[in-house]
Structure 1
Amino acid sequence: MSRLSPVRRFAQAGACGICALALMAFAGRAAAGDHVVTIAQMRFSPPTVKVHRGERIVWVNQDLVAHTVSAQAKTFDSGSIAPGASWRYVANTPGSYSYQCLFHPAMRGTLIVEPKP
């Protein structure tokens, strides 16, 4: 059995170390059924996420700098999300919410919350 850490094994398999660390950090952050938005390369991916009322969204920061997830209508605000960290939000009010990173205003996304089916 190999004594290498999972990150080292991943890196030796041809993946970059930063990617391996980001994947390891993310592994425990999102539960089954969560909608995941990745923050990487100074953008939200996917840029638009559609959920039903009561569902949870997790934003995972894979960039090397901090970001925020801040609704323009001030309905939600993550505060600063450090590199390698995540933020969860439960969408309770139907509607369409534009959001951006307050540190990098060109980073924009949309959360669409639909009533429960």
Structure 2
Amino acid sequence: MGMEIAMLRRRMAAALAVGALLVSGCSQSRPVATSAAPTTQVSVTAPAAPVRGDQVTIDGFAFAPTTLTVSAGTTVTWTNRDEEPHTVAASDGSFHSPGMGTGATFTHTFSTAGTFDYVCSIHPMMRGTVVVTG
């Protein structure tokens, strides 16, 4: 009978240990990782008014100003301030720069009146316009 009692005690001890583990797993709170929902900010701006001058900057995958107004005979200079190469290519084919690395410039003299749309041929979503007055 002594051996039966020892076996019974071992079984009870094992059952208590398993029960304690189950209860401790259920009762212990664990930190839950949470993260803030991503936010997106959108700003809407009116199209830029035409700017006078003779300089266009390329920065942030955009031409600035987007629209430039000059007199016939004006030489316009585009300067690439972006980290990526860009080009300046007239939609009508009247001018086209080579690939321009950071700091490179391209010039074109507008001798006739008209509206000249241009793009970056590497990144065609980049668009600009030069309006030449007589």
User: Which TM-score tier does this pair reach, normalised by the shorter chain?
Assistant: 0.5 to 0.7
| Counterpart selection for 1:74 from 78, 93, 108 | 93
Paired with 2:79 and 2:103, the residues of 1 have a C-alpha distance of: 7
In structure 2, the partner of 1:104 is 123
Q: With structure 2 as the length reference, what TM-score do the two structures score? A: 0.59
TM, length-normalised to structure 1: 0.68
List gaps (5 residues or longer) in structure 2.
1-52
Does residue 1:55 correspond to 2:74, yes or no? yes
User: 1:47, CA displacement in angstroms?
Assistant: 0.3
Gaps of 5+ in 1: 1-33
Shift of residue 83, structure 1, vs aligned partner: 1.1
Provide the C-alpha distance between the structure 1 equivalents of 2:116 and 2:70, rounded to a whole number of angstroms.
Answer: 12
Q: Which runs of 4+ in 1 moved over 6 A?
A: none
Root mean square deviation, CA, Å: 0.9
Whichever residue aligns with residue 101 of structure 1, its letter is C
Q: Between the two proteins, what is the percent identity of the paired residues? A: 37
Residue 62 of structure 1 and its aligned partner are, at CA, apart by: 0.2
Q: Which has the larger radius of gyration?
A: 2
| Paired residues, number | 82
Q: When you count helix as a share of all residues, which structure comes out higher? A: 2
Work out which of the residue numbers 49, 54, 64 in structure 2 matches 1:35: 54
